[in-house]
Homo-oligomer: A and B are copies of this chain.
Amino acid sequence: MTVTANRFNPSGSRIELIALPAIPLVEPGADLAALIATGLEAAGVRLQPGDSLVVAQKIVSKAENRYVRLTEVTVSGRAREIARVVGKDPRIVEVVLGESRAVLRQAPGVLVVEHRLGFVMANAGVDASNLEHEDVEVVDQVLLLPVDPDASAARLAAALGECTGVTPGVVINDSVGRAWRNGTVGIALGCNGFPALLDRRGERDLFGRALQITEVALADQVAAAAALVQGEAAEGRPVVLVRGLTWPAAAPATGASALLRPREQDLFR
A residues adjacent to B (C-beta < 8 A): 12-19, 21, 25, 105, 107, 110, 112, 119-120, 127-133, 136, 175, 178-187, 197-198, 200, 203-213, 215-218, 220-222, 224-225, 227-229, 231-237, 244-245, 258-261, 266-269
The CA of A120 and the CA of B267, in the complex, are separated in Å by 13
**A216 contacts which chain B residues (CB < 8 A)?**
175, 183-185, 227, 232
The CA of A178 and the CA of B129, in the complex, are separated in Å by 27
- A interface, by DSSP: helix, strand, loop or mixed? loop
| Residues A207 and B17 in contact, CB atoms below 8 Å apart | no
Most chain B CB atoms below 10 A, which of A178, A180, A200, A261? A180
**A259 contacts which chain B residues (CB < 8 A)?**
181-183
With contact pairs A107-B267, A209-B129, A224-B220 given, residues A235 and B197 touching in the complex (Cβ less than 8 Å): no
When all copies of this chain in the complex are counted, the total is 2
Chain B residue nearest to A196 (CB atoms) is B183
| Residues B180 and A261 in contact, CB atoms below 8 Å apart | yes
The CA of A180 and the CA of B17, in the complex, are separated in Å by 27
**A267 contacts which chain B residues (CB < 8 A)?**
105, 107, 110, 112, 179
The CA of A240 and the CA of B212, in the complex, are separated in Å by 22
